[in-house]
Chain A
Amino acid sequence: MELSFIIIDDTELDHFIARKVIANANKNYSIKSFLDAPQALAYIQEDNHDEDAKIILVFLDIYMPLMNGFQFVEEFEKLDQAIQDKYYIAALTSSIEISDINKINSYRSFRTRITKPITANGITQLLNKIATEFGIELD
């Protein structure tokens, strides 16, 4: 598949929901789950994952202990440009705090923002947008 997924969230229920919603869109998508950001960062640093995937869509929760979404993105932006180019990071937040929204908008690596919970509609829209932007076939 030209598109694959990484979910970074400290809440198991939110993983479950995101996986369900993604699988409902297409059950062949590959999805990796991480319950904390440092593990996900270590995984992304290794690179060479998903050779087939043109774009890896990352659902990144903002409010997490240890390393929050902002700290993750700051580390992510230090990685090789070639690695960064493969990932499309969506900020996932349950909050409607204006300070969070402004902060999310201030990072170039946050390509979009989704308010929890993820819904079928929301994901379809996002996938269509990515498909057009990167010339990916959705089936």
Chain B
Amino acid sequence: MAEKIKILYIDDEMDNLTGFKATLRLDYQVFTAVTIPVALEHLEKHPDIRVIFCDQRMPVKTGVEFFEEIRVTHPLPMRILITAYTDIESVIDSINRGNIFRFVKKPWVEAEIVSAIEEANKFYQANSMLSIKNEELQRAYNELDKFAYSVSHDIRGPLSGILGAINVARDMHDITEMKEMLFLMEKSLKKLDTYILSMHDYYSLQRGELHIGDIDFKKLIDEFKDIYKAFSNTASINFKININQREPFRSDTVPLKLILNNLLSNAFKYQNKNNDAKMVELNIEVHRGVATIQVSDTGIGILGNHLGEIFNLFYRASSQEAGSGFGLYNVKSALLKLNGQIEVNSVLNKGTTFKVTIPTK
């Protein structure tokens, strides 16, 4: 069941508070305060109080004055004034200065209070939703900025290279030289292609919904084992796979594959070229509803000061290989969808280990 809505009532007459609480405490979590300092204490302790009722006539401060103050310090709760005196001056005041949501006339009846709370709660929810949406929008804008910048470099970069090569080719007559250039052009185009494919991954991760099913890690790995086996043979990298799954595991294959593919291709790509015993190791263990995936390599490693940033969009910590700056960001987004975690351990020139833990769904 949903948690009870928290409401606060301030009145200098104890009897009013007691009556109010007795009537409403079954349906709402009611806080009462006989003075303003007590009210402020409640607000500090319970920042999720949604509706505040306040009596207009109080010693020290009027209800309107109180609302005028907390409008600034606690803008979220809805403000409702309870008053027996409804002269037009105080109505104008409470609207203009207190920016109140509603009036309740004293003596109040339960139905009126309940309807005021329900209406106020709807407003409160709409407002909170709006601020969450605002935050999401701000994040999306920031990423869009990064995208615009990246597009002009990561897409235009390879294209301008190809254009430059075509220009140069006009005065080129040596076939070997031409072939060398074609090889480099291919490399640039492949980089562009990787970029676009990862951008597609990025988009589907941001927008796609989860499709949960039973996961057999052996089968899953079999699907792309061959690609890496071939790679491991040509680059003479020893590829070890250990899978230990004796219990069912439920998750979505698409983000899972994306995580495995990115970590493995990084492990193969960023190898230490001078190392004679190159190795990539994949360990998967499913135990008590948690899958632990470890990918270790004997590669170039990551400098400590880059470690904090490798999961950022478009961050690249090496110029050795054609990275798109998407890979690990996409891994992080995929893990966010699966409620998973990732840890990284790296020693420069020795190797890197990524450890991923994902709970079953």
Can you list, as one digit per residue, whether each of A17-29 has a CB less than 8 Å from chain B (1) or not (0)? 1001100100000
Contact indicator A21/B165 (Cβ below 8 Å) = no
Chain A residues within 8 Å of B42, by CB: none
Chain B residues within 8 Å of A16, by CB: 165, 168, 180-181, 184
Contact indicator B152/A97 (Cβ below 8 Å) = yes
Chain B residues within 8 Å of A65, by CB: 316-319, 323, 325
Residue in A20, A21, A94, A97 whose CB lies within 8 Å of B160: A94
A106-139: which have CB < 8 Å to B? 115-120
How close is A125's CB to chain B, nearest CB, in angstroms? Answer: 15
Chain A residues within 8 Å of B137, by CB: none
User: Does any Cβ of A come within 8 Å of B157's Cβ?
Assistant: yes
Instruction: Give the number of chain A interface residues (Cβ < 8 Å).
Output: 27
- Residue among B159, B172, B184 with most chain A CB within 10 A: B184
> In the assembly, what is the distance between CA of A35 and CA of B323, in Å?
14
Contact indicator A17/B153 (Cβ below 8 Å) = no
Residue in A24, A35, A36 whose CB lies within 8 Å of B171: A24
Contact indicator B168/A17 (Cβ below 8 Å) = yes
Contact indicator B160/A116 (Cβ below 8 Å) = yes
User: Does any Cβ of A come within 8 Å of B225's Cβ?
Assistant: no
Q: A13-B164, A21-B168, A115-B160 are in contact. List 14 more A-B contacts (CB 8 A).
A: A12-B187, A14-B161, A17-B164, A17-B165, A17-B167, A20-B168, A65-B319, A65-B325, A94-B159, A97-B152, A116-B157, A116-B164, A117-B164, A118-B164
* Chain B interface residues toward A at CB < 8 A: 148-149, 152-153, 156-165, 167-168, 171-172, 180-181, 184-185, 187-188, 316-319, 323, 325
Task: Please list 28 pairs of residues, one from A and one from B, whose beta carbons are closer than 8 Å in the complex, sorted by A's number.
Answer: A11-B158, A11-B161, A12-B184, A12-B187, A13-B161, A13-B162, A14-B161, A16-B165, A16-B168, A16-B184, A17-B161, A17-B165, A17-B167, A20-B168, A20-B172, A36-B319, A64-B319, A65-B316, A65-B317, A65-B318, A65-B325, A94-B153, A94-B156, A94-B159, A95-B153, A97-B152, A116-B160, A119-B164
